[in-house]
């Protein structure tokens, strides 16, 4: 949206469709994201803040330091700031996304929010420095070309574990990791409950008919019965992760259906 509230700058559905790649493997290419962010002003993966604010707010305090991983052109940090959180750091791998986000936040007067170019696989922060770490759809990108979701390729697992190890490291001893995802619990549990981590594992869903997953991991709260076997969880209106991501929240799927 234009900083002055001009809704004419909001991409139309047709404009949004043009950003969807021809194959999901493009999501793994940094050049794709640079090109996309050069033209796209705003897109919210997995719904905007209003859809899951009731789940996230109980775990935030005004004095908390918050890290958002893979901010892209999302407005999540702005929503958190408006809710009273001022110590926010956002990172993204795309220098273009970072530059545009910095300009957008400054134009709105949100000078306290830091936006940095950084890789989630190698977080450039000291140990135990954030109260809350949030990612929304960023880790999902790692799984777009991972093969069998029950047995992902080793490279995918290694990248996911590197991300989680970094998050666990930068969280304060009683910190919270929030992961908002297309990925279903029986696919995410083996990663989140790996022996490397001390956090507890909880999840909720949001969305009407079509479910998104809200994972809550509290550092230092792991119980003795953690790490149990993964089981299939039957839920209505859920498609496999790759089909979800290919749709770009329905839009990309619609394009394919129309071909």
- Stretch 55-66: mean pLDDT: 96
Grade residue 42 by pLDDT with cuts at 50, 70 and 90.
confident
Is the pLDDT at 100 greater than 80? The verdict is yes
pLDDT in tens, 245-258: 444 544 322 222 23
List beta partners, residue 191: none
β-bridge pairing 65-69 and 130-136:
parallel
Q: Which pair of tokens denotes residue 82?
A: 């408006």
DSSP string, 57-71: GGG--TT-EEEEE--
Phi, psi of 197 (to 5 degrees): -110, 150
pLDDT tens-digit readout, 152-163? 888 999 999 999
- Greatest alpha-carbon pair distance for the chain in Å reads 54
CA 160 to chain CA centroid, Å, is: 13
pLDDT at residue 25, rounded to an integer: 77
CB atoms within 10 A of CB 248: 20
The pLDDT value given to residue 227: 44
pLDDT for 146 beyond 70: yes
Tell me the C-alpha distance between 246 and 243, whole Å.
Answer: 5
- pTM for this structure? 0.81
């Amino acid at each position: 949206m234009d900083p002055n509230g001009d809704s004419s700058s909001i991409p139309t559905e047709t404009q949004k469709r043009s950003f969807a790649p021809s194959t999901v493997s493009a999501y793994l290419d940094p050049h794709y994201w640079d090109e996309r962010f050069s033209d796209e002003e705003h897109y919210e993966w997995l719904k905007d803040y209003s859809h899951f604010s009731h789940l996230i707010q109980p775990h935030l305090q005004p004095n908390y330091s918050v890290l958002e991983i893979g901010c892209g052109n999302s407005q999540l940090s702005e929503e958190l700031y408006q809710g009273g959180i001022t110590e926010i750091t956002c990172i993204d791998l795309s220098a273009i996304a970072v530059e545009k986000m910095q300009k957008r936040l400054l134009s709105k007067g949100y000078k306290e929010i830091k936006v940095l170019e950084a890789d989630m696989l190698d977080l450039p922060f000291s140990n135990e420095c954030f109260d809350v770490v949030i990612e929304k759809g960023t880790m999902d990108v790692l799984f777009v070309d991972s093969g069998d979701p029950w047995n992902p390729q080793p490279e995918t697992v290694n990248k996911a574990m590197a991300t989680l190890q970094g998050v666990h490291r930068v969280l304060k001893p009683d910190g919270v990791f929030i992961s908002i995802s297309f990925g279903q619990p029986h696919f995410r549990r083996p990663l989140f409950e790996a022996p490397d981590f001390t956090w507890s594992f909880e999840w909720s869903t949001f969305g009407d008919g079509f479910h998104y997953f809200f994972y809550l991991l509290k550092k230092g709260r792991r119980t003795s019965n953690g790490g149990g076997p993964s089981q299939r969880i039957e839920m209505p209106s859920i498609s496999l992760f790759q089909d979800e991501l290919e749709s770009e929240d329905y839009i990309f799927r619609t394009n394919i259906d129309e071909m």
